[in-house]
């Protein structure tokens, strides 16, 4: 007799469009547009928004307006605003903007660590240590991203043991939550489950999230496979924006609209208004001069035209 998997009743989405989404855009996006996007996302019911990153403007020029964007947001009670901080310099700059959460970002691949943050995995952990300490002392939550958790553009397949190792190192320095990231979207459900299970050896179900890029069209399948394990936190990006400038061939994150459509259809609670989310995606896509990279958004936008 086959058994039907049981899924979480509620899912929390971390909207990463303003950060992961826009960091990969070549054309400059004015701070006012980024702020408007955040406002629209919070109005749509997103309660966690990754706003920007405090990285080197030489490495990622699009995020150079980080402080201006953080200052421009009219914060809504109940919404948590997070930012990426690769080192103490980034943390100190970020702290002035009073984020609710910071994100240190490491990798399960040595080659990607070098390309993305210019140091080895071990060095990255040493860099993160004082950042995590300072954040925890200031009452700021700390998340860690584990990039290339299933595959790397430079090293190919990544073994779950690498994810286990990075999760252990992150746990060791006090990172409170980890995101298992399929940076280049090569993962398929079983591989993704193994990567998540590796992280779950050091973190609880409430402390692990999925972060899936959709390069090969597998991100929704990987989301469903994660739900089967009981994972209920996901990073998603409005209009399917996204990609890492240092991950060759990576395209956008799974679209928030598609994930919300999936979850609503399964009766899983998100607290998100899909129509308002679609409008937010349309707003930023219009600015960028293209259609949203979301099948559900485009289908529902067409339906609206009657
Ligand atoms: P580095 O060159 O080794 O840094 O870069 P450094 O400490 O030697 O400093 C060199 C220069 O950078 C100095 O300036 C510093 O002041 C400046 P100069 O004296 O030459 O004028 N600098 C900074 N400026 C602003 N903010 C800072 C900062 N740090 C140093 N925080 C560094 C190392 C980490 C800074 C660099 O490699 C970097 O900025 N990398 C970021 C790359 C990035 O943002 N990638 C995308 C985000 S990660 C991602 O998308 C993956 C994720 O979505 C999950 C997934 O999908 O996998 C999270
Ligand atoms: Mg990403």
pLDDT tens column, 195-240? 999 999 999 999 999 999 999 999 999 999 999 999 999 999 999 9
Q: 193 falls in which pLDDT band (50, 70, 90)?
A: very high
Predicted confidence at residue 165, as pLDDT, reads: 98
In a domain, 5, yes or no: no
Residue 85 has pLDDT above 80, yes or no: yes
Expressed in angstroms and rounded, the spacing between residue 37 Cα and the centre of ligand 1 is 24
- In testing the pocket of ligand 1, which one of 16, 17, 56 has its CB within 8 Å of the most ligand atoms? 56
Is ligand 1 within 6 A of the CB of residue 76?
Answer: no
Residue 250 has pLDDT above 90, yes or no: no
Of 65, 57, 56, 59, which Cα lies nearest the Cα of 37? 65
Is ligand 1 within 6 A of the CB of residue 211?
Answer: yes
In a domain, 115, yes or no: yes
Predicted confidence at residue 249, as pLDDT, reads: 79
In a domain, 279, yes or no: yes
Predicted confidence at residue 114, as pLDDT, reads: 98
Residue 1 has pLDDT above 60, yes or no: no
- Helices 295-304 and 274-288 pack at an angle, to 10 degrees, of 100
Residue 3 has pLDDT above 80, yes or no: no
Can 152 be counted among the known catalytic residues?
Answer: no
Residue 84 has pLDDT above 70, yes or no: yes
Per the structure, the complete domain to which residue 148 belongs is given by: 12-304
In a domain, 7, yes or no: no
Stretch 279-293: mean pLDDT, rounded?
97
In a domain, 3, yes or no: no
Is ligand 1 within 6 A of the CB of residue 86?
Answer: yes
Q: pLDDT per residue over 127-176, tens digit each?
A: 999 999 999 999 999 999 999 999 999 999 999 999 999 999 999 999 99
The residues with which 213 forms a beta bridge, in sequence order, are: 253
Expressed in angstroms and rounded, the spacing between residue 124 Cα and the centre of ligand 2 is 17
In a domain, 265, yes or no: yes
271 — alpha (psi -120 to 50), left (phi > 0) or beta? Answer: left
Expressed in angstroms and rounded, the spacing between residue 118 Cα and the centre of ligand 1 is 8
Q: What is the chain's mean pLDDT, rounded? A: 97
Please indicate whether residue 147 or residue 244 has the higher confidence score (pLDDT): 147
Q: 260 falls in which pLDDT band (50, 70, 90)?
A: very high
Of 225, 238, 202, 176, which Cα lies nearest the Cα of 51? 238
Is ligand 1 within 6 A of the CB of residue 242?
Answer: no
Minimum-distance ligand to the CA of 184?
A: 1
In a domain, 49, yes or no: yes
- What CATH code is carried by the domain that includes residue 257? 3.20.20.70
Which residue's alpha carbon is nearest to atom 36 within ligand 1?
117
Q: Between vectors from CA 102 to CA 98 and to CA 106, what angle results, nearest 5°?
A: 155
Predicted confidence at residue 2, as pLDDT, reads: 59
DSSP string, the chain: ---PPP--SB-EEEE-IIIIIHHT-SS---HHHHHHHHHHHHHTT--EEEEEE---TTT-GGGTTHHHHHHH----TT-EEEEE--SHHHHHHHHTT--SEEEEEEES-HHHHHHHHSS-HHHHHHHHHHHHHHHHHTT-EEEEEEESSSEETTTEE--HHHHHHHHHHHHHTT--EEEEEETTS---HHHHHHHHHHHTTTS-GGGEEEEEB-TTS-HHHHHHHHHHHT--EEEEBGGG----TTSTT--PBPBHHHHHHHHHHTT-B----HHHHHHHHHHHHHHHTS--S-HHHHHHHHHHT-
Which residue's alpha carbon is nearest to atom 45 within ligand 1?
116
In a domain, 25, yes or no: yes
Which residue's alpha carbon is nearest to atom 49 within ligand 1?
244
HSE-up of 145 (CA within 13 Å, CB side)?
A: 28
Is ligand 1 within 6 A of the CB of residue 55?
Answer: yes
Predicted confidence at residue 124, as pLDDT, reads: 98
Total domain count for the chain?
1
Q: How many CB atoms lie within 10 A of CB 174?
A: 15
Is ligand 1 within 6 A of the CB of residue 199?
Answer: no
Dihedrals phi, psi of 156, to nearest 5 degrees:
80, -145
Expressed in angstroms and rounded, the spacing between residue 213 Cα and the centre of ligand 2 is 7
Q: 306 falls in which pLDDT band (50, 70, 90)?
A: confident
Is ligand 1 within 6 A of the CB of residue 178?
Answer: no
Distance (Å, rounded) from C-alpha 254 to C-alpha 8?
19
Closest atom of ligand 1 to 244 CA is 50
């Amino acid at each position: 007799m086959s058994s039907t998997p049981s899924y979480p009743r509620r899912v929390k989405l971390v909207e990463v469009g303003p950060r992961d989404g826009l960091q990969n855009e070549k054309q400059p996006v004015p701070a006012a547009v980024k702020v408007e996007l955040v406002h629209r996302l919070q109005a749509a019911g997103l309660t966690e928004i990754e706003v920007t990153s405090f990285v080197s403007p030489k490495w990622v020029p699009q995020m150079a307006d980080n402080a201006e964007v953080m200052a421009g947001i009219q914060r809504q009670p109940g919404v948590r605003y997070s930012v990426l901080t690769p080192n103490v310099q980034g943390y100190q700059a970020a702290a002035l903007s009073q984020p609710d959460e910071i994100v240190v970002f490491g990798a399960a691949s040595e080659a990607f660590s070098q390309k993305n943050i210019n140091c080895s995995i071990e060095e990255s952990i040493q860099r993160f240590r004082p950042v995590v300490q300072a954040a925890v002392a200031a009452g700021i939550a700390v998340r860690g991203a584990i990039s290339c958790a299933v595959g790397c553009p430079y090293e190919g397949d990544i073994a779950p043991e690498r994810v286990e190792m990075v999760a252990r190192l992150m746990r060791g320095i006090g990172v409170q939550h980890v995101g298992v990231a399929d940076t280049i979207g090569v993962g398929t459900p079983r591989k993704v489950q193994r990567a998540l299970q590796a992280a779950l050896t050091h973190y609880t179900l409430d402390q692990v999230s999925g972060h899936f890029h959709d390069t090969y069209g597998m991100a929704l399948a990987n989301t469903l496979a994660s739900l089967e394990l009981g994972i209920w936190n996901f990073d998603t990006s409005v209009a399917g924006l996204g990609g890492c400038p240092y991950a060759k061939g990576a395209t956008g994150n799974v679209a928030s609209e598609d994930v919300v459509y999936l979850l609503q259809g399964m009766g899983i609670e998100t607290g998100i208004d899909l129509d308002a989310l679609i409008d937010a995606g349309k707003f930023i896509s219009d600015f960028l001069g293209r259609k949203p990279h979301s099948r559900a958004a485009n289908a529902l936008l067409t339906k609206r035209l009657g």
